Amino acid sequence: MEAIRVQGVWKTYGNGPEKESILRDVSFALEEGSFTALTGISGSGKTTLLHLLAGLQDPEAGEIFLLGRNMREMIKKERILFRRRHVSLVLQEAALLPNLTVEENLALPVVMDTGRLVEEEKLERILKDLALAEARNRYPAQLSGGERQRAVFGRALFSEAEILLADEPCARLDRRQSLETVGMLKRCAGLWGRTVLMATHDLDLAQICDRILTLEDGQIREG
């Protein structure tokens, strides 16, 4: 089953003579459980595409389907709720609440959204799979850069969102940390059945993924 389908999407910025199409008739589909890299030079539209998929922006034309739902047909309130429940957007900056431990940061979105008790067994497995078990009671300031980014991924996995959109998630990490972090994310995403689209300019990281999509001149090409 398809987790993401993009059909003929256009996105334009500016007005009059300054108007520029950053995305031009973009179409592709991602199967559930796939792990895909989105590459392209800086300014090619990678972040714009992720924001469209997350429902943070609207395309001028085209359709975006997530888990079979047409984003264009949702009213604003529906889209916000859908994003909260089904889509995790991970940015370059490892955004953790500084006054909460790793464990508390992972569990917070689920507790706030549903009010249900934390599934301790699931939390334990995610902490172990991301090599964070020993850091569970530490605060973000006490973590390495790699640990902070893995904690953000852990929060996304614990949230049960089926789709994970990552925008240059390892931009602030060194080469060893980047490779380790993406490797762990790929293994965990496979174990937990998540669909991942990761924007990156690093071709070594892209090679870890199952598939590579490249944005060039506003259009998607394979590889």
**What Cα–Cα distance (Å) separates residue 178 from each residue in 44, 126, 169?**
22, 19, 9
The overall average pLDDT reported for the chain is 90
| Tens digits of residue pLDDT in 20-35 | 889 999 999 999 999 9
Token pair of 8 as six digits: 């003929």
- Compute the distance between CA of residue 58 and CA of residue 159 in angstroms, rounded to an integer: 25
Residues 6 or more apart whose Cβ sits within 8 Å of residue 195: 3, 4, 30, 31, 32, 33, 34, 35, 162, 163, 164, 189
pTM: 0.91
The rounded distance, in Å, linking the Cα atoms of 175 and 124 is 28
Where do the structural domains in the chain lie, given as residue ranges? 35-51+76-222
- Homologous superfamily of domain range 35-51+76-222: P-loop containing nucleotide triphosphate hydrolases (3.40.50.300)
SS3 call for 181: helix
Residue 216, C-beta contacts closer than 8 angstroms, at least 6 positions apart: 40, 44
102 or 111: whose pLDDT is higher? 102
What pLDDT, in 10s, does the model give residues 67-82? 999 999 999 899 988 9
Please say if the pLDDT value at position 115 is more than 80: no
Residue 18 has pLDDT above 80, yes or no: no
The single residue listed with the structure tokens 């469209």 is: 52
Query: What is the layout of strands, in order, in the sheet containing 211-216?
Result: 87-90, 163-167, 195-199, 35-39, 211-216, 219-222
User: Which pLDDT tens digit goes with each residue over 35-76?
Assistant: 999 999 988 999 999 999 999 999 999 999 999 999 999 998
Instruction: For the chain, give the percent of residues with pLDDT over 90.
Output: 63
Segment 134-149 shows an average pLDDT of 93
Tokens linked to 176: 């060893």
Give me the amino acid identity at 134: E
Q: State the pLDDT at residue 191.
A: 87
